[in-house]
Amino acid sequence: MERLTEAQQELYDWLTEFIREHQHSPSIRQMMEAMNLKSPAPIQSRLEHLRAKGYIEWSEGKARTIRILHPLKQGIPILGTIAAGGLIEPFTDAVEHFDFSNMPLPPQTYALRVAGDSMIEDSIVDGDLVFLRPVPEPDQLKNGTIIAARVDGYGTTLKRFYRNGDRIILKPANPKYNPIEVPAMQVQVQGSLVGIWRIYS
């Protein structure tokens, strides 16, 4: 779809949230107040652009009939599975979403489903969802941080991070697994742990 201007995006985001919360579309006056506008003309112009670009539609002559055509999926994206044991390759596209809007999770948080038992002594077990956030400065990571790391030639795994000179040690929390020790250049830190979600059956 054609990209929106900043003003159009602002209205579209507000409309999406309003309709999600109230289950009906707002009035022109409500949109004017939300956008801090004194005249309906800019609102009507933005709505026409949103319709022309394929973001919304409405029934002619009927008030409050605006519909969002392509609502964004709400919640935390689950990007696949991460190994707590061997090494596996994660997905890059979200395969499902969970709505954790009431949880105080950082921006850009994503989730992976745990497969394996190498982190059981850190209370991370097979089937858990782990919430991770991007690490903008991996060089500043503290030793002992639980991270998702991609290891060249292997895949991605969930382990505790330790730096020793120019080498990285990824330690499991289960004595039956050996640490992974490789040159730092072979490790790409993909996220640090911010939370765990578990469903008890």
Catalytic annotation, pick one of 38, 39, 59, 118? 118
Q: For residue 185, what are the contacts with CB-CB under 8 A and spacing of at least 6? A: 166
Rounded-to-integer distance, Cα 30 and Cα 175, Å: 60
Place of tokens 């890059």: 92
How far, in Å, CA of 32 to CA of 69, rounded? 22
* 118 in active site: yes
For the record, the structure tokens of 51 come out as: 């319709």
Concerning whether 159 is annotated as a catalytic residue, the answer is: yes
Helix/strand/coil for 194: strand
E strands in the chain: 56-57, 67-68, 76-83, 96-98, 110-115, 129-133, 146-151, 155-164, 167-171, 180-183, 187-197
| Token pair listed for 6 | 């900043």
Q: Phi, psi (5° rounding) for residue 2?
A: -65, 140
Catalytic residue among 25, 159, 171, 192: 159
DSSP state of 167: E
Q: What are the catalytic residues?
A: 118, 159
